[in-house]
Structure 1
């Protein structure tokens, strides 16, 4: 043989294979047997039914949350992952949760925890995207050859058969759906659809439970286009309904939401066309009326302009006249004041008041007695003439 495995290497390889398989976080129901809690706090037991038996281990951090009163013979439900213990080569279940109750009780607890997680990270607060008025391409993700698929395709044919519709068939329940359903959803997104419908027909809570599991929910949240959750019936409420853009009560209802009725759409188009035509005609009529009014205003514009120019010219002329008259009066008053001052200081005016002025032989005014004594003759200037005089000797 070309390849020879060492025992330990093979055991570890098998363990890694199991840990990366679909057998993680699976729900297992069976009869509790050989239950014991070690001093370390770890719990060891087996689950069995009429067809088989598996060893189980729950580490102390998990076992401390187990309910009280567990005893052999009780029917329990566990959430566990298949593992292999290499030192002993033993396949066992590593238990995460255990409930001494019905299957539904434990599953509902898992659902509640997932919803709490989605609320905490804001996934439930995302805005819903509206459905397209007329989808160009609808992709349906559902079970193969199912009654739900037949109903959905029938609705498409009844409402608008020309709308393109692609079907991706996959497993929608059981352990295989945990990986195959997310893969089918991502394949749908790769087709560039207008909208995606994911769902299945009715069934028991266990049958529908895949739509409450985190891998499927994460795939729904990845949708780049509006997505409709159409699982079960009106009374079924699943986590997929909370994270999808729209929830449909049934797969049939989903197609009624997504596919419009061709006849109704034609009526809507005719009505819209009539309204558009009427609105366009009214708009054109208003524009024609406005254009006519503009032409009338344009024709009378020169006459109106000349009248306004004449009024402006008259107003400016009046203003100029008032300003000129006011300025002239002000200058005349100023001239009168200057004339009065000059008249008051005129020597001839002083002579008229009884004064006389003495001039020497050279005609210059003599202002002092000493200057007069040196003159041989002088003239006295009166307002009405002159008189020649001579200075007298002292003796």
Structure 2
């Protein structure tokens, strides 16, 4: 018999209790397609109907979710409301004084996925910095962490490898809601903005999205399910390689492969490691876009058998190292990009240790565990729930 799901309200569902933050103020809103209440009404429309919504701000993928990963956004007008939309994923990642001049309060309502690589986190921190510099209030509409608020996994990013896929020294999986993370960023990293958090109701830290009665809306085009969100904390590392991470398939970040791999050998080897909460199945797939577009890839699909037991960073590292071992000379790290001339894998991993393979998987994960425990002790002081 299926366990009864908990009734949970995100921040936008509790807005009536926070009327004092919005009434009589000129509002700006950073949002995306996940900015919805329980009835799937857009936060854009709710704020436009109730208050004085003056401007929208678009992160990666656009305010209505109409853009793929990495597509730069230009300033435009939201066709439904007529409100101007300023881009925060193009020439400006931080709002300029000009973009903020007509507002008093900058509100943010976007579902994150509990992962350091997710660019929405740094859109949030840049906006917090802009609010501090321009004397505006920043209001975070909190949302659940869909992969729970207890587990912490991975290394603490070395600030030398700071980028838009990892700006601050936090772990890959950080175990906080967006509101809690905003509080941590504000204090630990000296942003110091006037911050308010519109809190959740009914959520407990051990709850994943599947434990709640909230509907799943994809936080971005390549995170179609909660299982994807869990695995992303480890399999996102493949974005720094010439191995397909499953973009261009119906199972991004769950199917991993390349044209030269032996899917049966890879699946057998990974299953022999007895990693908790997952099973590996040999698969063939052909991406419709991104790496190896139109080519047959051979690899594995990672099936989550117990979403509370799986350790996604361990899964990602052990699968990466196994694929390196089975790839002969075919495996490559993607060359350095424009972010300070760093390899993309170094920006994702927050260090050079993975690319240089300074340690084998078990030792690397052992070292990272000490870092994650240190971060866990720090982050607990910011728990709201």
Which has a greater percent of helix?
A: 1
Q: Normalising TM by the smaller chain, what interval?
A: under 0.3
Structure number with larger C-alpha Rg: 1
- RCO higher in structure (CA 8 A, sep ≥6): 2
Which has a greater percent of strand?
A: 1
TM-score (normalizing by structure 1): 0.20
